[in-house]
Structure 1
Amino acid sequence: MIKIYKTEESIVNEIEKVEDGCWINMITPTMEECINISEQFDIDIADVRAALDDEESSRVDLEDGYTLILVDIPSIEIRHKQEAYTTIPLGIILADGVIITVCGEETPVLQAFEKRRVRDFSTKKKMRFVYQILYRATSVYQNYLRVIDKRRREIEERISDDTEDKDLIDLHELESNLVYFATSLRANGVVLDRLTRYERLKQFPEDREILEDVIVENKQAIEMTAIYRDIINGTRELLSTIIDNRLNNVMKYLTSITLVMAIPTVISGIYGMNVSGKWMPLSQTPYGFYIVCGIMVLICVIVLLILRKRKMV
């Protein structure tokens, strides 16, 4: 799918044909659409389709007649029947008079521009537009990071009440999301650093300020990712320790019950031996059976008191 936009007096409008100073937004484009754009602007077809490969790494390529900027942006996917976060490539191509974006799916990073949520946005100021896209991407990263931390806090609040093995799995999923974010943010940081050094890319002082803001926000997102990973790791260790401690308490309780139940078993086993009844204590005594039962109950109570004193039950 290809949509073409152009700003007039700070208002973005969708247009039918390619014009000078427009933005061509390609979302999951077909091969035919990629070939048309490639031939129209003399761009290598591999560069047009680079963002459609999930394995592509972030980079900046200065080619004859155009520039390719490839970065990773956050995305939502379904893993194990629940919502999770990952990263996907976003290609930004600066061609003759136009800016082209290529992505494998709809993304809130670009939707903010389509729905007029970004101020001072112009498709004619290409480098400023690029930096605004990158700034928006880092903002989405930070929003998703806050959501991840909120989910972590929800799991942490359940630790003292109803801790389950599922919570450990959920923490592992959250940590996996942060690994994807950390890797992509570091790669994007390299791209941002290169953009500050390329003199071929025409930039105004205002554009430089936006780029500096993007670099700062990207570093902040990296720090947030590292902090949240450490916190999740600590929460997971705490959760695992609590589950192990509860298991130990259950085993200790069952062991104590087994010990108490063994007392009447041993006594009744002795009295059940095939020997002459006259040699068994209390066998000829009136109410001997009840006396033996009372002794067994007394011994069990004494053992229970000892175990409780030692906090075994």
Structure 2
Amino acid sequence: MLQIFKSTDSGLITLDQVEDGAWINLVNPKEQEILYISNNLNIPVGLIKDALDEEERSRIEVDEGCTVIIIDIPVPNTNLPEGGTYYTVPLGIIINKTNIVTVSLKENYVIKSFIERKNKSFYTFKKTRFLLQILYKNSKLYLQYLRNIDRTSDKIECRLHKSLKNKELIQLLELEKSLVYFSTSLKSNEMVLEKIQRSTPVKMYPEDTELLEDVIIENKQAIEMANIYSNILTGTMDAYASVISNNLNIVMKFLTSVTIIMSLPTMVASFFGMNVDVPFQNNPHAFVIIFVMTMFFSVILAFTMVKKQLF
């Protein structure tokens, strides 16, 4: 998908052709769309395709008059019905003398928020400012998703108190995987941000420097939150694995106790069902006598097991 936007006095508008000062957004683009942008903006095809590799690492480089920044952005995992799990994909930001280009493999909320005009203070022709606003939005989105992960884990923990199955533990494992993705990606993004601050590959003004510092602070906060949640989740999984095992042991103990108590009437009935002479065989009240005696001993056995906390 190829989208071209430009800021005007009337707001953000959509264009059909590339113009100076325009923002070009590519989402899982076709080959002809990549070639179109490459030819019109003199951007090497390889730089555009780098951001379409899911395994591409976060980095920044200057090549043939283009500044390329690749960062990892969080994306919700829609394949799981429970929700609350995420992974990360690369987002490429390419800046040349006249335009800014964003390239991603999947639609994401970072870019979508600008397209939907939820960030009203950005202008496509202020390329450095726009770049930093994207980085800031990305850091804030990490923080938002980390809070979502924390809330989801709390809900799962509530169900784990009475659980005997592994479903909740598997869900916690998925959340832990999300935190690992986040932690790794945030650390890679931190290296990119520090390099931007250190080497200033793009022209920056004083207000841009302040915004970059805010981005770095937000990114560091996200790293700390990811580490804290990951440690808590790891401990929680270990604890609740023991809880599930203990719950299962309690159920098995109860069933075993019931089986022992029920075995007494069964054993007595087996004795009196033999084809030999047995007590009370000529007594008209034999069934009642045997039944009362059996229930008496069963109650005594049950009372004894309760006192010994075998129930």
TM-score for the superposition, normalised by structure 1: 0.88
Paired amino acid for 1:42: N
Change (3 A) 1:10 1:113: farther
Answering whether residue 116 of structure 2 is matched by residue 115 of structure 1, we say: yes
Change (3 A) 1:302 1:23: same
CA contact (8 A) 1:128 1:207 kept: yes
Q: Which moved more, 1:121-130 or 1:293-302?
A: 293-302
Tell me the CA shift for residue 307 of structure 1.
0.4
Q: How does 1:142-291 map to 2 (within 5 A)?
A: 142-160=143-161, 164-270=165-271, 277=277, 290-291=288-289
Answering whether residue 300 of structure 2 is matched by residue 299 of structure 1, we say: no
Give the fraction of aligned pairs with identical amino acids, expressed as a percent: 41
> Which position in structure 2 is the counterpart of 1:49?
49
**Is the partner of 1:237 in helix, strand or coil?**
helix
Tell me the CA shift for residue 237 of structure 1.
3.3
Tell me the CA shift for residue 191 of structure 1.
0.9
Tell me the CA shift for residue 218 of structure 1.
0.7
Root-mean-square deviation (CA), in Å? Answer: 2.5
Any stretches of 5+ residues in structure 2 without a counterpart? none
Q: How does 1:22-41 map to 2 (within 5 A)?
A: 22-41=22-41
Q: Deviations over 1:251-296 (max 9, x none)?
A: 1111112222233344455556676x4xx66668785665444333
Tell me the CA shift for residue 45 of structure 1.
0.9
Q: Deviations over 1:201-257 (max 9, x none)?
A: 221121111111111111111111122222333333343333222211111111112
Change (3 A) 1:296 1:82: closer
Answering whether residue 66 of structure 2 is matched by residue 61 of structure 1, we say: no
CA contact (8 A) 1:41 1:96 kept: no
Paired amino acid for 1:305: F
**Is the partner of 1:158 in helix, strand or coil?**
helix
1: distance between equivalents of 2:280 and 2:270?
15
Find the partner of 1:308 among 302, 306, 309: 306
> Which position in structure 1 is the counterpart of 2:6?
6
Paired amino acid for 1:308: V
CA contact (8 A) 1:6 1:21 kept: yes
> Which position in structure 2 is the counterpart of 1:75?
75
CA contact (8 A) 1:10 1:120 kept: no
1: distance between equivalents of 2:4 and 2:44?
20
Paired amino acid for 1:178: L
Tell me the CA shift for residue 13 of structure 1.
2.5
CA contact (8 A) 1:20 1:97 kept: yes
Change (3 A) 1:282 1:204: same
> Which position in structure 1 is the counterpart of 2:18?
18
> Which position in structure 2 is the counterpart of 1:101?
102
Any stretches of 5+ residues in structure 1 without a counterpart? none
1: distance between equivalents of 2:9 and 2:119?
14
